[in-house]
Structure 1
């Protein structure tokens, strides 16, 4: 039997927040366990080596990435991050920022030879600001602003793609049924779309979320527009059925 793995997946999901003194208190995030468990099952069935980490600190997150970067790799390494956030960062279990540029740096082949030639895929379920796409939902993944935002493209290792649940400066929606962004991703991976080239999958993800979703509750009818940044140098079929 071959020892080659399809790829590795890290899921970081924050549901509850225990802010340190001086930090703003952040609301709990309903539906996160539903998202995380479904992603774990879908990707495991597809042959990925998946690790799921709930309610962890910034230091633990960095340690997870350090350890993963030293493991045998497949064609791609997938990161799924679900938390409150702002542009360029998510928040950990204690409300401390975790900068995406730091996670990218850990996966940079210049810092980890194991990541040479490995495509690095990020899916980020978190707000990137507090602007509303003509509306707001009762719950969002926003949090108090941070001063250390950055131009993400300058920090991407080669062959990286980062897919965000919302456009720059805007909120992302989270609700008890799960995040529309992550649930739609699972729908696509369970359908025939999984056989498409990655950019086509992400374009369909954009289309479904943008056109089929609208917020409900007190501010019914507002939208979410995912987007992605990439410096991939080749076509990629990471989810294709063998």
Structure 2
């Protein structure tokens, strides 16, 4: 947790930490933040236990990812419309260990497709759920791992890669690909695969001040 706070302060964010919240307290806190937050970019990091349906509060109740994201969409948070909103969630998503498989080199050609839309002049709008990036420590149904002396694989890798790549002007999606590669390479019997959902319209670069 301390490493995470240090990295985002280094990147120029105002960091506010909240610890040991029930699910209801988490929901209310997120709603309050969504009403008052301002700035060019918003980041929310949640470290907890979890399951397929969402993240546990200290009372054992669950808050879903949709409930975490909803206070910050375009309908509920006008100040962040058109601005990047990133969520990093460290929590198990089930009780299964990620299967490991052997890898063989392969290649493929990516095709491109275009879609043209004809119509009259209209006001430019964007979807309410635009400019979100949600990175989670594991794929659906699987466990997340941590080392007692270091912390979670995902969060420690995220901090290391932000420190390494942000000063170079690397965009955040490329940073997360480095995190995915690093975390997925750890362990032998116990494997973990982070995943991120991207609804961004532009590349995002976080540069230290």
The normalised TM-score by structure 1 is: 0.69
Aligned to 1:172: 144
Q: Residue 93 of structure 1: which of 38, 53, 58 is its match? A: 58
- Give deviations 1:19-63, integer Å, cap 9, x for gaps: xxxxxxxxxxxxxxxxx1111111112210111111111222122
What's the Cα RMSD here? Answer: 1.8
Aligned to 1:78: 43
Superposition deviation, residue 72 in structure 1: 4.5
Q: Does 1:106 align with 2:71?
A: yes
Superposition deviation, residue 163 in structure 1: 0.7
Aligned to 1:192: 165
Q: Does 1:181 align with 2:146?
A: no
Q: Is the 8 A contact 2:30 2:71 kept in 1?
A: yes
Which 4+ runs in 1 deviate beyond 6 A?
none
- Give deviations 1:78-126, integer Å, cap 9, x for gaps: 1111111112410001111011111211111101212211211111111
Partner Cα distance (2:34, 2:5) in 1: 19
Q: Is the 8 A contact 1:73 1:118 kept in 2?
A: no
5+ residue gaps, structure 1: 1-35, 136-155, 215-219
Q: Does 1:231 align with 2:186?
A: no
Q: How does 1:28-107 map onto structure 2 within 5 Å? A: 36-107=1-72
Q: Is the 8 A contact 2:53 2:62 kept in 1?
A: no
Superposition deviation, residue 198 in structure 1: 1.3
Partner Cα distance (2:144, 2:182) in 1: 15
5+ residue gaps, structure 2: 101-127
- Give deviations 1:103-153, integer Å, cap 9, x for gaps: 211111101212211211111111111221248xxxxxxxxxxxxxxxxxx
Alpha-carbon spacing, 1:70–1:101, altered in 2? closer, same or farther (3 Å): same
Aligned to 1:240: 207
Larger Rg over CA atoms: 2
The normalised TM-score by structure 2 is: 0.80
Alpha-carbon spacing, 1:241–1:198, altered in 2? closer, same or farther (3 Å): same
